[in-house]
Amino acid sequence: MKATFVIFRFDPAVDKQPRYQEYAIDVESTDKILDCLNRIRWELDPTLVYRASCSHGICGSDAMVINGHVGLACQKLVRDYKTANNFVIEPLPLFNVIKDLVVDMDPFFEKHRYVRPYLINDEGEPEKERIQSAEEQKAIEPALRCILCASCTSSCPISRANPNYLGPAALLRAFRYINDSRDTATGGRLAQLDNDDGAWGCKTMWWCTDVCPKGIPVTKCIGQIKRTIKQQEKNE
């Protein structure tokens, strides 16, 4: 069947304003949106720019807005949309556009680095690896599924309103290390998040959870950080 794709186009080096360009292609109901974009680029317009890598929902590089909803182009199929013959494709909101569907992810990763996304342990080098039980690993398993696609952060209304807010992705990564049995920096991590730009900035709107392509309960994880902060205050 024929489908029309109306795609956001913008090159800051030459364009004064963004525009939308329309393409008509043949599609199958089982085609991925990424397949359609590839067909447009390979067969109709090689100037179209977007990010993609693994094409299997692992790398997280092809998050974009499809018919008004954030999703991974490699996961979403033509048949997933009621208007299966009309699509509007736009870049992730919140971030500055580099070109077309490619956005500047530097601010996103700066906040990710801020939460120190690595194990901190001051107990000295172990003779072997640091052992973690199955139950201890289960406590952080949801956060381990995160692919840093920024779907949650770009959908978060607090992130849009407050540019200093760490955002759900960074808070989820902080949750992973706060609850890791091998990490000894819990107190410092919690203190870092005990403010309105950290955990308390979350207003529990669930948008981050709704758009997560990995089904991670992001909002619940942030809520757990808040409860842990409160518990620590009681213990002091």
Residues 133 and 49 in one domain: no
Q: Are 97 and 110 in a shared domain?
A: no
218 and 185 inside one domain = yes
Asked whether residue 185 falls in the same domain as residue 214, the answer is yes
Helices marked H in the chain: 33-39, 106-114, 134-144, 151-155, 157-161, 168-178, 186-193, 207-211, 218-235
143 in the same domain as 59: no
Residue 76 has pLDDT above 90, yes or no: yes
Mutual angle of helices 168-178 and 218-235, in 10-degree steps = 50
Q: What rounded mean pLDDT belongs to the chain?
A: 96
Give the domain extent around 121.
106-235
> Partners of 66 in the beta sheet?
69, 89
CATH assignment of the domain containing 16: 3.10.20.30
Q: Which of 71, 103, 135 is the last residue of a domain?
A: 103
- The reply to whether 165 and 53 lie within a common domain is no
Q: Are 125 and 155 in the same domain?
A: yes
- 152 with 189, same domain: the answer is yes
Residues 93 and 143 in one domain: no
- 122 in the same domain as 90: no
pTM equals 0.93
| pLDDT tens digit sequence for 126-153 | 888 888 999 999 999 999 999 999 999 9
The pLDDT value given to residue 149:
98
Contact in structure between 222 and 173 (CB atoms under 8 Å):
no
| CB-based contacts of 200-206 (< 8 A; 24+ apart in sequence) | 200/226, 201/158, 201/162, 201/165, 201/166, 202/158, 202/168, 202/171, 202/226, 203/157, 203/158, 205/156, 205/157, 205/158
- Assess whether 163 and 196 both reside in one domain: yes
| CATH number of the domain within which 156 lies | 1.10.1060.10
| Per-residue pLDDT tens over the stretch 10-29 | 999 999 999 999 999 999 99
Residue 115: is it exposed, middle or buried by C-beta count within 10 angstroms (0-12/13-18/19+)? buried
Please compute the mean of the pLDDT values over residues 202-215 and round it to a whole number. 97
Contact criterion met (CB below 8 Å) for 205 and 157? yes
Closest CA to 121 of 72, 39, 177: 177
Instruction: Return left, alpha or beta for 50; rule: phi > 0 is left, psi -120 to 50 is alpha, else beta.
Output: beta
Domain boundary (70, 85, 103) is at 103
pLDDT at 126: 85
| Domain count within the chain | 2
The answer to whether residues 158 and 127 belong to one domain is: yes
Domain closes at, from 103, 134, 164: 103
